[in-house]
Chain A
Amino acid sequence: MEKEATQNATITQRPIERKKAKKVEVKHFVPYLLVSPLVLWIVITIFIPLSTVIKESFYSTGFVGTQGEFVGLQNYINVFTSSAYWGSWKNSLLWVVGNGLTQTVLAFSVALYLNNKFKLSKFARTWMIIPWIIPTIVVAIFWQWIFNGSYGIFNHVLMGIGLIDQPLNLLGDPTWALPTIIFINSWHWFPFLAVIILAGLAGIPEELYEASAVDGANKWQQFWGITFPSLQHITFALGLVGTLWMFNIFDVIYTLTEGGPAGSTTTVPVQIYQQAFDNYELGSASAMSVVTAIMMVVFAVVFIKFAAPKDE
Chain B
Amino acid sequence: MRVFKWIYGILLVLLIVFPFYWVTISSFKVPDQILQPDLWPKAWTLQHYRELLFDTPYLLNLKNSLIVSFGTMIVTVMIVVPASYAIYRMEFKGRNFFYKLILATYIFPAMLLLVPVYQLMSKVGLVDSLWSLIIMNVTFGAPFATWLMSGFFKAIPKTLDESAAIDGAGTMRILFQIILPLIAPGLATIAVYAFVVSWTEFTFASILITSDEYKVLPIGLSQIMGQYTVKWGWTTAGAVLTLLPVLIFFAFAGRYFVKGLTEGSVK
Chain A residues with CB under 8 A of B89: 3
The reply to whether B258 and A135 form a contact with Cβ atoms under 8 Å apart is: no
The reply to whether B111 and A248 form a contact with Cβ atoms under 8 Å apart is: yes
The reply to whether B221 and A138 form a contact with Cβ atoms under 8 Å apart is: yes
Q: Which of A39, A49, A129, A254 contacts B117 (CB 8 A)?
A: A49
Confirm or deny: A69 has a beta carbon within 8 angstroms of a beta carbon on chain B.
no
The reply to whether B98 and A199 form a contact with Cβ atoms under 8 Å apart is: no
A244 to B109 Cα, complex, angstroms: 8
Chain A residues with CB under 8 A of B242: 134-135, 137-138
A151 to B116 Cα, complex, angstroms: 42
Chain B residues with CB under 8 A of A30: 86, 90, 171-172
The reply to whether A276 and B8 form a contact with Cβ atoms under 8 Å apart is: no
Confirm or deny: B255 has a beta carbon within 8 angstroms of a beta carbon on chain A.
yes
**Shortest Cβ distance from residue A249 to the other chain B in the assembled complex, whole angstroms:** 9
**Shortest Cβ distance from residue B253 to the other chain A in the assembled complex, whole angstroms:** 10
Confirm or deny: A213 has a beta carbon within 8 angstroms of a beta carbon on chain B.
no
Confirm or deny: A45 has a beta carbon within 8 angstroms of a beta carbon on chain B.
yes
Interface residues on A, range: 35 or more
Chain B contact residues: over half helix, strand or loop, or mixed?
A: helix
The reply to whether B83 and A34 form a contact with Cβ atoms under 8 Å apart is: yes
A70 to B108 Cα, complex, angstroms: 25
Q: Which of A42, A134, A250, A255 contacts B110 (CB 8 A)?
A: A250
Q: Which of B8, B98, B115 contacts A53 (CB 8 A)?
A: B115
CB contacts under 8 Å to A, within B1-51, are 8-9, 12, 15-16, 19-20, 22-23, 26, 35, 37
Chain A residues with CB under 8 A of B26: 145
The reply to whether A127 and B254 form a contact with Cβ atoms under 8 Å apart is: yes
The reply to whether A48 and B120 form a contact with Cβ atoms under 8 Å apart is: yes
Chain B residues with CB under 8 A of A34: 82-83, 85-86, 90, 171
Residues of B near any A CB (own CB < 8 A): 8-9, 12, 15-16, 19-20, 22-23, 26, 35, 37, 78-80, 82-83, 85-87, 89-92, 94-95, 98, 101-102, 105-120, 122, 135-136, 138-139, 142-144, 146, 158, 161-162, 165-166, 168, 170-172, 196, 199-200, 202-203, 207, 217-218, 221-222, 225, 232, 235-236, 238-239, 242-243, 246-247, 250, 254-255, 257-258, 261-263, 265-266
Cβ contacts A to B, 26 pairs, < 8 Å = A23-B168, A26-B170, A27-B171, A30-B171, A34-B85, A35-B86, A38-B82, A41-B135, A49-B116, A49-B119, A113-B12, A136-B200, A137-B221, A142-B19, A142-B22, A142-B239, A145-B235, A200-B265, A200-B266, A202-B262, A241-B144, A255-B202, A282-B115, A289-B109, A293-B112, A296-B107
Known: A3-B91, A137-B239. 13 other contacts (CB 8 A): A31-B90, A39-B98, A42-B143, A129-B257, A130-B247, A132-B196, A133-B250, A135-B242, A136-B202, A145-B23, A198-B262, A245-B106, A282-B115
Residues of A near any B CB (own CB < 8 A): 1-4, 6, 10, 23, 26-28, 30-35, 37-39, 41-42, 44-46, 48-50, 52-53, 56, 64-65, 106, 109-110, 113, 125-138, 140-143, 145-146, 151, 153, 156-157, 187, 191, 195-196, 198-200, 202-203, 234, 237, 241, 244-245, 247-248, 250-251, 254-255, 268-269, 272-273, 276-277, 282, 285-286, 289, 292-293, 296-297, 300
